[in-house]
A and B are shown apart, each in its own frame.
Chain A
Amino acid sequence: MSRHDTPACAIAAIVMFGVSAGSGLAKTLSVVAGENGEERLQSALIDAKPGDTVRIGPGRFAISGSLSLDTARVHVRGAGPGRTILSFDGQTSGADGLLITGDGAIVDNLAVENSKGNGIKAKGVDGIVFRRLRVEWTGGPKASNGAYGVYPVSSKHVLIEQVTVKGASDAGIYVGQSQDIVVRNSEAAFNVAGIEIENCYHADVYDNLATHNAGGVLVFDLPGLPQMGGHAIRVFHNRVVDNDTANFAPKGNIVASVPTGTGVMVMANRDVHVFDNEISGNSSAALLIVAYLNAFKDPTYNPLPRDVATYQNRIGRNGYDPKFDGGPILAKLSGGSIPPTLWDGVTQFIIPGGAASTDRVRLSLKDGPVVNLNLKIQGTPVTSAQPSVSQQWVDGEITAPPPVKLPPGMFDDRRKGRARR
């Protein structure tokens, strides 16, 4: 590893999130592939000071543990997602490929392959950019693959763009218990869930491709967690097509309950708008709107999807081979396939302690026909369904959440900036 001064023009480009790197002391720590690559890379990640760049050269780095970054405002950049490869084939310890716990990091232009646990995780940070990354389990979809590809959790100000994730045994792109999130221009394929937004506040998911997953895009809210009450999520202008990989998640995980061939699934949450997406080739259902399925003990949790709006999606052929309980019969009753929107019809739940919920559930499901399973009370088994079909299900106009705002500078893409000049 060599440490050398960065030219002044580059220092200007290392401005992160609108905060200057300071007095021109920002350094670039370069790490080239070769002997002791792991130790030299980890040392650079430890030695980097706020504002510094750790530049990882082209080549394959064999990593045996977890890499980690705990310093604020460090830019970790490779030579390209096809050129700088962090390979975890021989990983013997650690639960992640790269773990980030410093605020304001940018990770771009590299690949993480075959990590034993998650690919790149960021925990508890304010500001994180994942850009032009590839996270892949190269043996294809397998239950023994790691859980999440990119995995920001308990964080705020999250940007994921131009990221490709393949083979995750849970979700390819997973954002959990976070706030102010943009996921765009990314691709998730051959994962159990393509893109999953779970227990999050304020997320925009757009211009992505979710294909050949078991489920394309999931918006979930789960009980018993520090951050609950997911809300203000917009899923728009994505291609959610041909999600047809058999669900290979281990039992017990919530995504194991996602039917193979699901397009977009909303479970619990408030203020979710799904619009202007292309949704086709998903064999179970295009749009699935359901309550949390299991029993729960948390009295502050609301298991119902409410204030959910779906509209102007371009719905192709979906639901022709449903892989959920009662699906085949429902398809038969509906003329051969599941109609575009499937809602479980749950509008009430028992608050742990005994009282029935009283909040009104409003939905605006315009991509019909809509099947309502009329399950009414949360926890009612699907075998008790009394399905009814309508052209739409609209019981109120629901205002879309405002666009997610990220701090100025987070969207600045150094490579693009150069190209413009």
Chain B
Amino acid sequence: MSLRLKVILAAVAAGLAAWLALVDPVTSPAPQCIFRRLTGYDCPGCGTQRAIHAIFRGDIASAWDFNPALFIAAPLIILYLADPPRLRRYLYSTPAPFIIAAAIVAWWIFRNIFL
């Protein structure tokens, strides 16, 4: 990935974060999950915007309620970004990404039945 693309992506991410820090997605117009709009069910990522906004408010408990998957996915994404050589054999082991995919689908089903 070129440096220019990285700078653009970082700027977009910072802009989105600033937007979510300032605006409460519950009370103001914000992008909504199409899957939820059409079916009424939560997708695995539903609640992430509200959770990020809650974190900016310092309300970790509500953030966990909105989408606990964020708290598991964020360290995982940081691990894959940092790519420490010591953990490479686990992060890039054959089952690891399949387990991640299965966990996402399991979370999708679980949250719609039990939560």
A and B physically associate: no
Taking Cβ atoms with an 8 Å cutoff, the residues of A that contact B are none
